Structure 1
Amino acid sequence: MFEDLKEKAVTWRAGNGYTEKGGVIVFFQGEVQGWCNALRDPQHWQPGCLAVDQFGLVYQAVGGNAQDGANSWQIMLSL
């Protein structure tokens, strides 16, 4: 389900020198928005943003609103 997103994250990491830095790559509407060294501060991200860590785990910013940001990060399970 998230394979395209995971591929984009790996490609972005490789192209930008983040392959060994951990952290997460944050996406909004399928486009990379940036890298963070840790998954935190959901209020800085709009609900619906997705974050992919170096292990391929995917998290979604949930709750809140576009103006005030999300309330939390929730792990997404793909079967």
Structure 2
Amino acid sequence: MSEVLEAEAQARKWRSEWGYTGRGGLVLVCGGKVQNWCDRLPDAAQCIKGCIALDEGGKAWGVVVGTALDGSFTWLSLGGNDEF
């Protein structure tokens, strides 16, 4: 679960640095780096295993199955309230 905590810290820092605090949406962290901001979960087929999407309220979703070639099947809740 430390991956989620690290990703959450990265997402908070990125939001602060780029002016996305208070704008909602999700920060996408893949390979240990912030990749993007989006207003909703992207299609899992566009992401690879290990990507984590985090909202400002502490909710997190991750791609836990998939390949770089085929993408992934779905996002799974990694904690928090998954009502997104």
Normalised by the size of structure 2, how large is the TM-score? 0.80
Structure 1, unpaired ranges of 5+: none
Q: CA RMSD in A?
A: 1.6
Q: Supply the distance in 2 between the matched residues of 1:7 and 1:48 (Cα, whole angstroms).
A: 16
Structure 1 residue aligned with 2:5: 3
TM-score (norm 1): 0.84
How many percent identity over aligned positions?
Answer: 33
Where do residues 1-79 of structure 1 align in structure 2 (5 Å cutoff)? Answer: 1=2, 2-77=4-79
Asked whether the 8 Å contact 1:6–1:52 carries over to 2, the reply is yes
**Ranges of 4+ aligned residues in structure 1 off by more than 3 Å:** none
Count of paired positions: 78
CA distance, structure 1, for counterparts of residue 5 and residue 51 of structure 2? 16
